[in-house]
Amino acid sequence: MSDYLFIQSQDPFTEVRCAAQYQLARQLRDAGHRVHVLLVQNGVAPARLGARSEVFDALLGGGVTVSADGFSLKQREIEASDLKAEVTVGDVGDAVDALLAGSKVIWN
């Protein structure tokens, strides 16, 4: 089993490839790996309450843990209370922690 962290800068509303990126994360999880997705930049957009994205909601329901970079949220005036229940507030430092722990860190 491996640990994966995806830094997800792309969002499903403007990038069609985002669906495949989410799917890869889920497939890795289904294959028995630990997978975390850190949303950054516009990648935080689908995490907002009321944001309608079937592919993102499928990611949340697929056993992959998801957090959103607090800096990116603040830039967009999104509060923690505005996020979907499964999404926690994180930081890009979490990606560095993962690198230092030997995880496979992938930029999307």
- Shorter beta-carbon distance to other proteins: residue 17 or 54: 17
Residues near other proteins (CB under 8 A) = 7, 9-10, 15, 17, 40-42, 71, 91-93, 95-97, 99-100, 102-103, 105, 107
Contact (CB, 8 A) for 93 and 103 = no
| Listed residue (64, 50, 75, 74) closest to 108, CA to CA | 64
- The residues pairing with 38 across neighbouring beta strands, listed in sequence order, are 7, 67
- Residues 6 or more apart whose CB falls under 8 angstroms from that of 30 comprise 62, 63
CB of 96 to other proteins, least distance (A): 4
- Shorter beta-carbon distance to other proteins: residue 64 or 105: 105
- Shorter beta-carbon distance to other proteins: residue 53 or 108: 108
